[in-house]
Structure 1
Amino acid sequence: MPAPRIVLLTGAAGGLGTLMRGLLPAYGYELRLLDITPIEGAPDAIIADLADKKALREAVRGVDAIIHLAGISLEASFEKILRANIEGTYNLYEAAREEGVERIVFASSNHAVGFTPRPAGEPPFGPDQLIPINTPHRPDTFYGLSKCFGEDLAQLYWDLHGLETVSVRIGSCFAEPRSVRMLSVWMSPGDGARLLHAALTAEDVGHTVVYGSSANTRLWWDLSTARSLGYEPEDDSEPYAAKLIAEQGELDPDNPEHTHLGGHFTINPPQWPY
């Protein structure tokens, strides 16, 4: 696929959106920014709710592709998740279909499979131990459930309408990993931009699901589908390991918070109870 020139970035005011709007222009993209809140330094950004179908239709008009980061990124009541993450994602896909947009990169999450057991033993893990991309959906929260919906919606729109999507099951994208768990699922901002660029430009993706992380020594999941897009991660969380382990200790196989991919979302999700 030729490199898209104009890309709509939803959720542009959020943490990941802020990182990507600083990094992606270096790949030649002209970003059209959308968020529900104003974006500092971006007076031309589109301020709109995902429930506003007219605004979404106008926002996607004329773009070559969409990176969809918008929505609630932690746990919340089902009603809130339904409105923002489920109905909002549907509204965006409908607007994209109506305007003839050919590709969406959807920010899925590891929490779509959060109750999947993490690899047992000591890292590094062999290929047969890594969590495969075709592991069944096992959401750990309403938030994770909404990401399962998004992946299935993307599949439907590919099969029914020919709208391509790369669904990226993002781990944790920060400047540095913040916990021992993140040593396994961390994606550096630079690798995040490299992965999104690969997802925007790879040929014939149909609907492809990939895990989103750096090439971490302690990696839990299989990055082969991401690499098949042309993604070449350059970073590893291991330089941060000694400090984090000294502060927090190694993961405990007897601690329920440490036994599943979703970590504390499986027992004490952020914002739960609500």
Structure 2
Amino acid sequence: MTFAKPVLLTGAAGALGSWLRPQLLARYGALISSDIAPIEAPLPGETFVQCDLADGVAVERLVSQAGPIVHFGGQSVEAPFHRIMASNILGTYNMFESARRNSNKRIVFASSNHVIGFHETTTRLDAESVMKPDGYYGVSKAFGENLASLYVDKHGLEIACLRIGTSIPEPKDARHLATWLAYDDLLSLIDACLTAPELGFEVIYGASANDRGWWDNSKTRYVRWTPKDNAERFAAKLLPNGDQRDQNDIAVRFQGGPFCSQNYDRQN
């Protein structure tokens, strides 16, 4: 499938962006990649634009060249608030506002499972579950989802918010048996969002078909996506003696894992 203008990928120098670049290019034929950090060399058919998301003028110029947007740029882990604010809050506003001004209607936004991190692991969640962020990073992604809702309702954009779990080549610890999103499943999810006949505002949990998963996508309205991989095939390697973790440990009790326990000082 091709679009009238190239797909824009932000966060192209990051771990996910670096893997997605050749995949999106092969799928859609032309790609504009962007990041605040440089990349080694653009691929044939790819244009790279170095851009700070906090610079509204630069983002406007970037978006004006593009069609659909895959917005994976920004701070990807917990950090001091001022850093989160610049890249994830101001940067997301600049991206959505530039899309509105340039009639870039469809956006796939990399939200995060850390939007709902302070739900307990015994609770199964869907798209209508209450947000319970587990840090400044999670708060910034909750902001992005609410901003997306506004831009869909008020300006007619189409935005899919992907609450991505743990997207790495393979699970590394017990928590990942619930949160893992295989790279191929991530790619198929992005493709499902970009090619859906209608999108509107959609919240989708980005996790593979994990036996131990906590999230339910049955309430999605527009995107039809069926993940294929399953983290359970790594369970024997990761938990050779079964799950012996302390279930009262904050990082085990809550879905956000170590994001919840970082700087946790609640006494009751």
**TM-score, normalisation: structure 2:** 0.91
Q: Is the 8 A contact 2:198 2:222 kept in 1?
A: no
- Alignment gaps of 5+ in structure 2: 264-268
Equivalent position SS for 1:239:
helix
| Residue 79 of structure 2: aligned partner | 76
Q: Is the 8 A contact 1:180 1:250 kept in 2?
A: no
Residues 142-166 of structure 1, C-alpha deviations (whole Å, 9 max, x = no match): 0000000000000000111001100
Cα 1:220/1:3, change in 2 over 3 Å:
farther
Cα 1:114/1:197, change in 2 over 3 Å:
same
Check if 1:160 corresponds to 2:161.
no
Matches within 5 A, 1:51-90: 51-90=54-93
Q: Is the 8 A contact 1:195 1:226 kept in 2?
A: no
2:212 to 218, 243, 246: 218
Q: Is the 8 A contact 2:115 2:142 kept in 1?
A: yes
Q: Which residue identity lines up with residue 184 of structure 1 in the other structure?
A: A
Q: RMSD of aligned C-alpha atoms?
A: 1.9
| Residue 24 of structure 1: aligned partner | 24
Bigger Cα displacement from structure 2, 195-204 vs 220-229: 220-229
Q: Is the 8 A contact 1:181 1:251 kept in 2?
A: no
Q: Which residue identity lines up with residue 48 of structure 2 in the other structure?
A: A
| Residue 140 of structure 1: aligned partner | 134
How many angstroms does 1:249 deviate by?
Answer: 4.2
Q: Is the 8 A contact 2:200 2:222 kept in 1?
A: no
**Runs of 4 or more consecutive aligned structure 1 residues displaced over 6 Å after TM superposition:** none
Equivalent position SS for 1:135:
coil
Distance in 2, Cα, partners of 1:249 & 1:204:
42
Bigger Cα displacement from structure 2, 72-81 vs 150-159: 72-81
How many angstroms does 1:226 deviate by?
Answer: 5.6
2:103 to 100, 103, 107: 100
Structure of higher RCO (CA pairs closer than 8 Å, 6+ residues apart): 1
Distance in 2, Cα, partners of 1:54 & 1:37:
18
Q: Is the 8 A contact 1:108 1:150 kept in 2?
A: yes
Distance in 1, Cα, partners of 2:235 & 2:77:
25
Q: Which residue identity lines up with residue 208 of structure 1 in the other structure?
A: E
Aligned residues with identical type, % of pairs: 42
| Residue 34 of structure 2: aligned partner | 34
Q: Which residue identity lines up with residue 9 of structure 2 in the other structure?
A: L
Equivalent position SS for 1:224:
coil
| Residue 11 of structure 1: aligned partner | 11
Distance in 1, Cα, partners of 2:149 & 2:27:
27
Q: Which residue identity lines up with residue 167 of structure 1 in the other structure?
A: C
Cα 1:247/1:179, change in 2 over 3 Å:
farther
How many angstroms does 1:257 deviate by?
Answer: 1.1
**TM-score, normalisation: structure 1:** 0.89
Equivalent position SS for 1:143:
helix
Check if 1:175 corresponds to 2:169.
yes
Distance in 2, Cα, partners of 1:21 & 1:225:
30
How many angstroms does 1:108 deviate by?
Answer: 0.3
| Residue 266 of structure 2: aligned partner | none
How many angstroms does 1:251 deviate by?
Answer: 4.1
Cα 1:240/1:57, change in 2 over 3 Å:
same
Cα 1:184/1:29, change in 2 over 3 Å:
farther
Q: Which residue identity lines up with residue 90 of structure 1 in the other structure?
A: Y
Aligned residues, how many?
Answer: 259
How many angstroms does 1:228 deviate by?
Answer: 5.3
